[in-house]
Amino acid sequence: MTEINLDEIKLKELLKTAIVEVLKEQKEVFSDLLAEIIEDIALEKAIK
């Protein structure tokens, strides 16, 4: 049972590391996407 927990922890760490690397490599893409999301939310609130 302990081995399963260790494997889950390792898997979580690997996944976290992979996501961070992708975010760093594609920083401009994610930045543009986040800006669009914020603009859409602001526009929606302005319309209400």
Given a cut of 80, whether residue 4 has pLDDT beyond it is: no
Given a cut of 80, whether residue 31 has pLDDT beyond it is: yes
Dihedral sign, Cα of residue 7, residue 10, residue 15, residue 18: negative
The long-range contacts involving 41-48, CB below 8 angstroms and separated by at least 24 positions, are: none
pLDDT, mean of residues 32-43: 94
Domain ranges of the chain: 23-48
Reported as a pLDDT band with limits 50, 70 and 90, residue 48 is confident
**pLDDT at residue 9, rounded to an integer:** 85
**pLDDT at residue 40, rounded to an integer:** 95
The larger pLDDT score, comparing residue 33 to residue 2, is at 33
pLDDT, mean of residues 5-31: 87
